[in-house]
Amino acid sequence: MMSGFMILYMIAVGIIVIGFGIYALIRKTEARLQRLSDDIVTRVKADYEFKIEELEQKLDQYYISCKLEELCFIGVGGGGCNILEDIAQIDPWHTFIHINSDLQALQQKSSKNKIVLGYDKKAGLGCGGQTECGAMIVDSTSKKQLFDLVDPFEKTYVIATLGGGVGSGATAQIVEYLNMIGKEVVVVAILPFSFEGKNRNDVAKTALMEIQYINKDVIIIENNAVIQKCRTEELGTRETFQYISKSIYQIIIDHFIEH
């Protein structure tokens, strides 16, 4: 039979072993809880940092808006109206006027200020890349609508992508009318990508010369130069166009502040 001393010894050893086991389990559990806690803190911190950054950007934008008076932006044609829509998402404080012959495309824009060019001639359809069509459909009805919308403003910013029918054909007519009624006009003319073809680029250059002849203040944006930046940052197609819109918005704001 085991002596009382041996029994006590074995009990003591068992207690020590169980104690070390419990200690090891506590440390393991503690380590797991610490990792879990660190992961939660990291995720929460990242989430709040993103929200704080987003809030700071919004505050910066509202600060810029508060410094500015209300501006009048006019988008001409499909491309110009698309850029205007992006700018309206960036800073909705201003007045946005969408001008196009494509009624369906206009209906998709958020602004309440929309002018359908030549509805009696085109029945709400586009010009199919024909600049003669774009120039022909700026009629007295659309001019009257435009006059009512721009009347409160001394200066207007006209945005058009050149190379298509309405953007290339109607922009010069619209700018000439704005000048005639005494408005200061800044035109932002966006030239096509080289891959859009020689014909479209030639149409754009001809339209640009006509606009420059009519209006002295023309800001030229070359899509080829912008896309190099987008390729560097590996942006997708939609992100590329949003980047172009943001760049145009910033150029306009800088121009307004400088002048």
Query: Averaged over 199-203, what is the pLDDT?
Result: 91
47 vs 125, higher pLDDT = 125
| 215 plus 249 within the same structural domain | yes
| 214 plus 184 within the same structural domain | yes
| 232 plus 127 within the same structural domain | yes
Confidence class for position 242, pLDDT limits 50, 70, 90:
confident
Confidence class for position 147, pLDDT limits 50, 70, 90:
very high
Residue 12's domain comprises 1-67
Pick the closest to residue 74 from 98, 41, 108, 47 (CA basis): 98
| 41 plus 149 within the same structural domain | no
63 vs 76, higher pLDDT = 76
Query: Averaged over 4-21, what is the pLDDT?
Result: 66
Please state whether the predicted TM-score (pTM) of the whole model is above 0.75: no
| 170 plus 63 within the same structural domain | no
Contact 142/134 with Cβ under 8 angstroms? Answer: no
| 23 plus 85 within the same structural domain | no
Domain boundary among 45, 67, 89: 67
DSSP string, 93-131: TSEEEEEES-HHHHHTSS-SEEEETTHHHHTT---TT-H
Q: Summarize pLDDT for 209-240 with one digit per residue, the tens.
A: 999 999 999 999 988 777 766 665 666 677 77
Task: Specify the pLDDT at position 146.
Answer: 96
Confidence class for position 1, pLDDT limits 50, 70, 90:
very low
Least trusted range by pLDDT, from 9-13, 108-112, 157-161, 252-256: 9-13
Query: Averaged over 29-38, what is the pLDDT?
Result: 73
Query: Averaged over 96-117, what is the pLDDT?
Result: 92
| 50 plus 76 within the same structural domain | no
Helical spans, DSSP H, in the chain: 4-67, 77-90, 103-107, 119-122, 131-136, 140-150, 165-180, 198-214, 223-232, 237-258
Domain boundary among 67, 91, 114: 67
| 114 plus 206 within the same structural domain | yes
Residue 132 CB contacts under 8 Å (≥ 6 apart), including other chains:
169
| 86 plus 204 within the same structural domain | yes
Domain count, the chain: 2
